[in-house]
Structure formats: C-alpha cells, structure tokens
Structure 1
Amino acid sequence: MVSEYDFWLLDLDGTLVDVEWSYTRSVFDRVGDRLGRSFSDREADILWSGLSGSRNAQLREWGIEPDTFWNAFHAEEDPAVRAQHTYLHDDAAFVGALEAPVGLVTHCQQFLADPVLDELDIRDWFDTTLCCTEETGWKPDPTPVERVMADLGLLESNARGVLAGDGANDVGAAWNAGLDAIHVERVGHERRGQCVLGDYRVQSFDELEIGT
C-alpha cells in the first residue's frame, strides 16, 4: 500500500503516456535514411523506450555518435503528428485527481512534450513541468528533480515525496534526490532484459492504493 505523500513527481513517456508503434517505426526509418544505417525493430524499441538505461551509452556501443543521432531524430519528429499518435494510459487518470502538489520531470523535449500535454488535455494536472536538457542534467542525476521540487517550494522542506517512472533512471533520480520511487513496468521484464528495483514495483498504478 502507498501511504499518502506530500507531493508527487512523475515521468511522462512510458509512464503516463505512450506512442503508437507505427509512429515510432516510421521515425526510425527516416532517421536511418539520414544516417545511412537501418534500425531493427528491437533497436528502435531499445532506444525509444530506454530499455538499456542510457540511450547515449547504447548509441556509442552501436558506433553511433549521440549528437549526430539526436540531431537527425529531432529533425524527423513532427510534434503535432507525434501528439496525435500518443495515448494516455487508463491507470494514469489518478494524477488528475491528486490534491497534493504534482510535478512533471521528463526527458521528452519541450517542443514535443507541449503538444502532447495539450492534445491529451493533461497540462493542468501539473503544478510545474521540467523537460530535461544538458543544462538541467538528465535522470538519474537528481538536479532536474530538485529543480522541480524547488519550483513547488518543497526543496528545503521535510515533505515526503515520491517519483513515479517507467525506467531505472527514474528510480535512480528519485533515490538520489531522497525520494521514494515507484517503478511502473510497462514493457515487461523479458522485453526489458532486466528487472528494475523500486520502493514500489507495479505493472499498473491501479495496483496501488493512492491517497488523494
């Protein structure tokens, strides 16, 4: 059982929302054309879902310069089309009913996250949002989490908080920032190839008794 927290922080992609596979596959086809290197379904899945942890480390392991990949990737992403192919997980609806302060901290870039929040009409679920950049740092670095906590006026407080996400980086960021961590396993342990620890490990938020 999850006791009532003073505040909640959440990841976006893979946690609250996901994108239809047809969109993901088409993006990687076009990125592959730009880079002169095709991506298998498994490789696209690993990078899109962050199944191996650090995407940049994975790219380097495959002999791909991360900056080159991301420049091509972002050039091929159409924010409006992506938003149209993004869906909200049914069990994520509890976030809109939370009475505690709520923050969003995501690796999804601002130009992509904004249309998704508007298309799904969930922007007002969050009291503050942060899209990670090189300047803020990336989860599991606690810095972006701490920035959101500061925006909520809770960084120096004794408030008890939790961060929920679908990846090991989310759990690491929570623990590094002194928060509890909920890992929601959307893809399954076999597809991920490893088991991610957390203070709570669920396949759906419906498994938790969440105080509001």
Structure 2
Amino acid sequence: MVVDSYDFWLFDLDGTLVDAEWSYTRDVFDRVGDRLGRRFSDREAEILWHGLGGARNAQLVEWGIAPEDFWPAFHAEEDPQTRAEATFLHDDAADLVGRLDAPVGLVTHCQAFLTGPVLQHLDIRDWFDTVVCCTEELGWKPDPAPVRHAMRDLGVEEGSTGVLAGDGANDIGAAWNAGLDGIHVERHGPEHRGQCVLGDYRVGTFHDLIN
C-alpha cells in the first residue's frame, strides 16, 4: 500500500486535512471587501480561499488588487477562535494519518496565529512531529524551503523517501522541488478548479490510498 511506501510524510493543512465552513469564508471576504472598497463574488472568494487558480498573488494582480493591500486586510479580519470553531476535519484525512507509522509533518500557508488554534480545537496537534507555517522569510510553496525546513525538523536522513500531500498545484510543486513525491487530493474537481493538477498520485479522497 502507498501508506507503507515512504519513510516520512508531509501534509498541507487547509483544503487537504481540514476545511472551513463556507459561511465563515463568505463573511471574511465581505469584511475584507469593505476594507478594500471592493466586493468579492462567491467565485472570487472561493478561488482565493482554496487557491484554485494557483498562485494567489498572481491572481490578485490579475484582478487589479495589490497583494500588499490584500493580505494585511485579510489577516486583520481573521479571528483565530472563530476560524477554529468554523473548521472541520476531513474523515478520509483522519483515516490516512491514523494508519501512518512514520514521522509526519505539516507545511502550511496558514499563518501560525490561526494554525495553532485550529489544531488545538480539532485535537490533532499530536498528529504532527513538526508544524511549519510559511512566511515571507521562510518562503511560500512551491518554494521548497519550507518543505526542507520540515525535513530538518523531522531529522530526515539522506536517502530517505518522502511525500507531500496537498490539494493545490503549489503543494505538488513544493514536493517536486524538494525531491519528494507529490500526492494531489482533488476536493473540487478539475472542471470546477479550471485546471488539472498533476501529481505522482492523484486521488479524490485519501481513502483511495488506503483501499
């Protein structure tokens, strides 16, 4: 089975292991829109929240929104406890991680002030031997730097085989750039995403890796 094929596993968080209720996402983008003087449609909010179009900054620029204006407004409108309470765990993610007998790490674009409360609320912090939150200083996926940082934290030995599982093209890019395999879990469907994301494994649910 795939679960026995790797010496260590890395995961993305949002959209891969967990997701937020749509009502929370819609409310955040309503308030961000008020700050920026621009309304975000449901489709725009979904694209940015899930990274459906790939790199979010490139998408913002395409829509005429300066990333340096958007991100401070976005983070200012995210309340850690409210976000945590609106977040749910995917059942297939719990089934997969529970079967792993190997070091497990998290590499996420979700910022530390949000990641901690989410993991605590869902009682899954002990799933991970390391948690790496991307930053401007550390880098953003598909930059391999955050992945390599997680590998160092795990004490991965040279020659070890590893994999990163995520729901976006940036996750697979980060995996490949760091010399790992990439598992893409498609939570939305390529027709809704607007593109097909490649990967060493492409699944609709992590149950496909178990059964």
Interval containing the TM-score (normalised by the shorter chain)? over 0.9
1:99 Cα deviation (Å)?
Answer: 1.6
Q: Is the 8 A contact 1:164 1:183 kept in 2?
A: yes
Q: Which runs of 5+ in 1 are unaligned?
A: none
Q: Deviations over 1:134-164 (max 9, x none)?
A: 011000011100000011111x511100000
Number of residue equivalences: 209
**Counterparts of 1:188 and 1:30 in 2: how far apart (Å)?**
28
Counterpart code for 1:63: G
Q: Distance in 2 between matches of 1:67 and 1:80?
A: 25
Aligned to 1:205: 206
Range with bigger deviation, 44-53 or 92-101 = 92-101
Which whole-Å deviations, capped at 9, do the CAs of 1:76-126 have from their partners, x for residues lacking one? 111100100100000011213422000100000000110000000000000
Q: Structure 1 vs Structure 2: percent identity of aligned residues? A: 75
- Runs of 4+ aligned structure 1 residues displaced above 4 Å come to none
Alignment CA distance shift 1:97-1:208 (3 Å): closer
> Counterparts of 2:126 and 2:100 in 1: how far apart (Å)?
11
Residue aligning to 1:70: 71
After the TM superposition, which residues 38-187 of structure 1 pair with which residues of structure 2 at under 5 Å, given as runs?
38-93=39-94, 94-154=96-156, 156-187=157-188
Q: Is the 8 A contact 1:96 1:122 kept in 2?
A: no
Question: TM-score normalized by structure 1?
Answer: 0.96
Contact kept, 8 Å, 1:183 with 1:201, in 2: the verdict is: yes
CA RMSD of aligned residues (A): 1.0
1:171 shift after superposition: 0.3
1:24 is aligned with what amino acid?
T
Distance 1:166 1:116 in 2: 18
Taking the aligned partners of 1:97 and 1:85, their CA distance within structure 2 comes to: 26
Structure 1 residue 4: Cα displacement: 2.1
Give CA deviations for 1:169-188 in whole Å, capped at 9, x if unaligned. Answer: 00000000000110000011
Q: What is the match of residue 8 of structure 2?
A: 7
C-alpha distance in 2 between matches for 1:151 and 1:121: 21
Unaligned segments of structure 2, at least 5 residues: none
What residue identity is the alignment partner of 1:163? L
Q: How far, CA to CA, are the matches of 1:162 and 1:145 in structure 2?
A: 10
